[in-house]
């Protein structure tokens, strides 16, 4: 079987504030835009700049972290995969949208001045989530491992009546 790879790595600036929503079953989904820039010089020495705009989607806990820490203009590193959605618009026309569904996000700039960003870092929150998951698993195991009270053998001769 032939292998395939669908991996995207981007460094860029957010073009809009993240929008956090929840699916009907309660799953967090966050979408935002990212711009990446490319500069080059022609043979004549002219400098050209080109911007590419990307639609980004994050799910679950990463979606909540993105909505909490990201604001328009922040520089971030994103890693994920390409995904194309197809749907029929209200006018009946077929629509397509290619998005990058991210699995990792790293903040590359310092906190924006004056922005209300929590004091915890993304790494601290991610570690906190892992710790909470481990505690929950240990509690479940403890509950499963609660020993039953020992059963004593009752000998009919020991009964006083």
SS3 148: coil
Cβ count near 147 (within 10 Å): 5
Is the Cβ–Cβ distance between 88 and 82 less than 8 Å? no
Is the Cβ–Cβ distance between 63 and 102 less than 8 Å? no
**What burial letters (b/e) apply to 33-58, b meaning 16+ CB within 10 Å?**
bbeeeeeeeeeeeeeeeeeeebbbbb
Domains of the chain: 8-113 (2.40.50.140)
**Helix residue ranges, H only, 18-59:** none
Residue 83: which residues within 8 A CB-CB, separation 6 or more? 57, 98, 99, 100, 101
This prediction's pTM? 0.65
Is the Cβ–Cβ distance between 62 and 79 less than 8 Å? no
The predicted structure's pLDDT at residue 54: 95
Digitized pLDDT (tens) for each residue of the chain, 161 residues in all:
789 999 999 999 999 999 999 999 999 999 999 999 999 898 888 898 999 999 999 999 999 999 999 999 999 999 999 999 998 988 989 999 999 999 999 999 876 544 544 545 555 656 665 666 666 556 555 555 555 555 566 666 666 65
Q: How far is CA 28 from CA 6, 50, 90, 144, in A?
A: 23, 33, 25, 31
Phi-psi sector, 135: left (phi>0), alpha (psi -120 to 50), beta: alpha
Is the Cβ–Cβ distance between 11 and 74 less than 8 Å? no
């Amino acid at each position: 079987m032939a292998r395939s790879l669908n991996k995207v790595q981007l460094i860029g600036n957010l073009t809009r504030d993240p929008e956090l929503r929840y699916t009907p079953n309660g799953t967090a989904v966050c979408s935002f835009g990212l711009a990446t820039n490319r500069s080059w010089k022609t043979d004549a020495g002219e400098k050209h700049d080109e911007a590419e705009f990307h639609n980004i989607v994050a799910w679950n806990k990463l979606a909540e972290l993105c909505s909490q820490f990201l604001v328009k203009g922040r520089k971030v590193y994103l890693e994920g995969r390409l995904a194309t959605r197809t749907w029929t618009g209200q006018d009946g026309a077929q629509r397509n949208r290619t998005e990058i569904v991210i699995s990792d996000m790293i903040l590359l700039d310092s906190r924006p001045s004056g922005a209300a960003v929590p004091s915890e870092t993304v790494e601290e929150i991610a570690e906190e989530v892992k710790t909470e998951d481990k505690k929950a698993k240990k509690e479940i195991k403890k509950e499963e491992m609660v020993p039953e009270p020992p059963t004593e053998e009752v000998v009919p001769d020991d009964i006083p009546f």
